[in-house]
Amino acid sequence: MVHTNVITEFADFATFDYHTLYPNNDFFDFFAQPWVPFVLVALYLVLSKPVINLLISLLGIKPDSKVLKAGVICHSAFLAIYSGWTFYNVAVILFKFYTENGGLYGTLCGGKQALWVESNMTFWITHFYISKFYEFIDTWIVLLKGKTPILLQTYHHAGVVICMWLLTVTYSSPVIVLVFLNSFIHTIMYTYYTAAAFGYSSPLKKYLTQMQLGQFLIGIGSTVPCFFIQDCMTPAGSIALLVLHIYTVILIGLFAQFYVASYKKKPIKKE
């Protein structure tokens, strides 16, 4: 059970006792501390490349090694299963509250005690936030294959950690939409990556990017009204949601740029 005392005002970010969020769960408590997401993201951005290059040099890891391939398969399969498990359970809770509280905004703007604590939504939101640290491995796999991660990937992985922490510690209910959509997309995406690691190649790959763009647009479109519904958001929760929207708008631009560069055929120049 989590403590019902959460961050509500902007000033609370500096004065709040984060240990009260998860008094009986040391693992969750560690990741709730404000220094954790910022320090670990900074280490991810600064140390990923030199540390992986060092490991490649010391261990002689080859991009086509069987060990690396097995690791990619296990990693992708795990995330596919984990994402599906999370999606199913969040969907069940969301549907229950959706039908009992008069729709989406009755759910997102209703009582936090019932949604976050009594339904155990806090458990699903918190471990989903923590899973974003695990997804750093996506970048490390790219580096182990001797490639350079694109800006889209590093921005995506670094930014979502900060956003998820803000939304989690403020009990900002629109995060449920993010988790619902993202876990669904990741179930499909990591299932595809698992198959790809076995050598399967599909012409439908571009539709994954389209689905990712779709989730961002749906996510923003469905949560913007929360800013304008009376008593829906606390000041701290509004800040967390605003940060998420700014992050997502930039992400949409990067994904759109990636999509055009990867899947749109360039016109053939006439001699």
Which pTM was predicted? 0.94
Read off the pLDDT band of 3 (50, 70, 90). Answer: very low
For residue 264, the model assigns a pLDDT of 77
For residue 224, the model assigns a pLDDT of 97
**Across the chain, what does the average pLDDT equal?**
93
Report the range of poorest mean pLDDT among 62-66, 83-87, 132-136, 176-180. Answer: 62-66
For residue 202, the model assigns a pLDDT of 79
User: For tokens 């490390």, what's the residue?
Assistant: 140
Residue 125 confidence (pLDDT) above 50: yes
Mean pLDDT of 207-216: 94
Residue 267 confidence (pLDDT) above 50: yes
Question: What six digits make up the tokens of 220?
Answer: 């923003």
Question: What six digits make up the tokens of 12?
Answer: 């609370």
